[in-house]
């Protein structure tokens, strides 16, 4: 039976960690993810879980210790944000290339500089090519649900890759919402016990983790990672279907909101999708055929499925909460555009940058994007291929 609660996103993820009761959690505090290790360490101190909590001297050390624990055969995780993720950079690649099923609770925050503690996706998007599965949440409920599913994905024998569970800093991490929690025994049965096939402390099968790979072997290891990431697509869907059976909440690679007959669509990630849904409902009442494709799974990137979902639209706006500094768009914009090109879709596509450093994204902003798309098609009014939303006036 579902447990109704009011929790922040950080509390919700921490509660999921308590229910899973992993073996080891090294962590170092950084805003806005600090509350996650704080809550988990309190659960441990109160005897509500028996995870081994390791306070470390830096985020690089926290990921290093997580990797070591996982390689030894433990179910391990950590949490961080922004510059903390940047300090882990080297170790992110190590975790993925060593095929370790660790989980990272990432609370998205802008990367310096100038220094900023508010939300954007520059931290996780910077790590998009590190070999980690990336799953994003719109709200606190999704943050909790995604974390409950994470180990089932990462530990699957056809995957064995680390998973990054992302939520928007402060917007979800600190805001309190009504959510439904699963009962402890339901979560434990769903996640199951971790029984690694190969690990360093198994004296019966000696092994090495992370040895030097000469040129004759390096490419083959990268190919194996690629195949594991491809396998993760079906595993993510299978786990989501099983999760729906215990929760009643269905997840996939993305959510289609009023997209079935939409002529104009926005594609985006994270909490601003809720704002866009309000704009869609308002515009639908006025007879506008608008919709949303909210990306949940960014790695592996569901290229063909995205193109299929958008194929009947006339114009698409891809909204990025991160810069690529390639002078023509953001990371989501580049990948969705490529997906549409590969599928030979012919709709108009434009890329927008929004919400950097926590800049507000309002219902009016989403409505204006739809108006620009409509004017592009019906009036031939050109839109810049790459533009910012909500910049302060220079007047």
Residue 395 has pLDDT above 60, yes or no: no
Residue 387 has pLDDT above 90, yes or no: yes
Tell me how far apart the alpha carbons of residues 337 and 317 are, in angstroms, rounded to a whole number: 10
pLDDT by residue (tens digit) across 41-85? Answer: 999 999 999 999 999 999 999 999 999 999 999 999 999 999 999
Average pLDDT rounded to a whole number, residues 239-266? 98
Residue 242 has pLDDT above 90, yes or no: yes
Residue 212 has pLDDT above 70, yes or no: yes
Structure confidence at residue 394 (pLDDT):
53
Average pLDDT rounded to a whole number, residues 275-280? 98
The DSSP bridge partners found for residue 105 are 79, 165
pLDDT by residue (tens digit) across 98-137? Answer: 999 999 999 999 999 899 999 999 999 999 999 999 999 9
pLDDT by residue (tens digit) across 304-354? Answer: 999 999 999 999 999 999 999 999 999 999 999 999 999 999 999 999 999
Residue 87 has pLDDT above 80, yes or no: yes
Q: Where are the domains of the chain?
A: 3-247, 254-388
Structure confidence at residue 25 (pLDDT):
98
Residue 30 has pLDDT above 70, yes or no: yes
pLDDT band at 393 (very low <50, low <70, confident <90, very high): confident
Fold match, 3-247 / 254-388: yes
Tokens of 88: 């882990």
Structure confidence at residue 61 (pLDDT):
98
Alpha helices in 204-302 (DSSP H): 215-247, 272-285
The beta-strand segments (E) located in the chain are 3-8, 24-27, 52-55, 77-80, 103-108, 133-136, 163-168, 176-181, 254-257, 264-269, 290-295, 297-299, 315-320, 348-353, 386-388
CATH number of the domain at 254-388, please? 3.40.50.920
Tell me how far apart the alpha carbons of residues 269 and 264 are, in angstroms, rounded to a whole number: 17
Q: Are 9 and 137 in contact (CB under 8 A)?
A: yes
Structure confidence at residue 152 (pLDDT):
98
Residue 361 has pLDDT above 50, yes or no: yes
Average pLDDT rounded to a whole number, residues 6-13? 98
Helices and strands per DSSP (H, E), number in the chain: 13, 15
pLDDT band at 199 (very low <50, low <70, confident <90, very high): very high
Q: Which helix (H) or strand (E) holds 250?
A: none
- CATH tag for 3-247 (out of 3.30.465.10, 3.40.50.970, 2.70.180.20, 3.30.565.10): 3.40.50.970
């Amino acid at each position: 039976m579902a447990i109704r609660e009011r929790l922040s996103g950080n509390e919700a993820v921490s509660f999921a960690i308590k229910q899973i009761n992993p073996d080891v959690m090294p962590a170092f505090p950084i805003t806005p993810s600090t509350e996650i290790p704080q809550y988990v360490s309190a659960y441990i101190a109160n005897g509500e879980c028996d995870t081994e909590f390791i306070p470390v001297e830096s985020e690089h050390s926290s990921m290093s210790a997580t990797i070591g624990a996982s390689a030894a055969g433990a179910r391990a995780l950590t949490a961080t944000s922004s510059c903390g993720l940047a300090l882990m950079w080297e170790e992110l690649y190590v975790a993925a290339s060593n095929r370790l099923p660790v989980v990272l609770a990432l609370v998205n925050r802008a990367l310096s500089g100038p220094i900023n503690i508010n939300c954007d996706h520059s931290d996780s998007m910077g790590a998009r090519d590190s070999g980690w599965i990336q799953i994003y949440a719109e709200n606190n409920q999704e943050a909790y649900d995604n974390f409950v599913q994470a180990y089932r994905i990462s530990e699957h024998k056809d995957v064995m890759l680390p998973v990054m569970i992302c939520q928007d800093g402060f917007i979800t991490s600190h805001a309190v919402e009504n959510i439904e929690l699963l009962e402890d025994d339901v979560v434990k049965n769903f996640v199951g016990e971790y029984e690694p096939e190969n690990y360093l402390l198994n004296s019966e099968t000696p092994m090495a983790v992370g040895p030097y790979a000469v040129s004759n072997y390096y490419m083959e290891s990268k190919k194996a990672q690629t195949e594991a990431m491809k396998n993760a697509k079906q595993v993510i869907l299978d786990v989501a279907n099983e999760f729906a059976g215990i929760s009643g909440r269905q997840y996939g690679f993305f959510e289609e909101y009023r997209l079935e007959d939409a002529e104009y669509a926005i594609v985006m990630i994270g909490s601003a999708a809720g704002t866009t849904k309000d704009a869609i409902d308002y515009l639908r009442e006025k007879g506008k055929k608008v919709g949303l494709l909210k990306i949940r799974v960014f790695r592996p990137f569901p290229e063909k499925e995205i193109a299929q979902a958008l194929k009947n639209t006339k114009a698409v706006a891809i909204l990025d909460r991160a810069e690529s500094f390639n002078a023509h768009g953001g990371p989501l914009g580049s990948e969705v555009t490529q997906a549409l090109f590969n599928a030979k879709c012919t709709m108009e596509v434009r890329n927008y940058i929004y919400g950097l450093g926590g800049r507000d994204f309002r219902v009016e902003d989403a409505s204006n994007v739809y108006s620009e798309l409509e004017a592009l098609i019906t009036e031939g009014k050109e839109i810049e291929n790459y533009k910012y939303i909500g910049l302060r006036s220079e007047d």
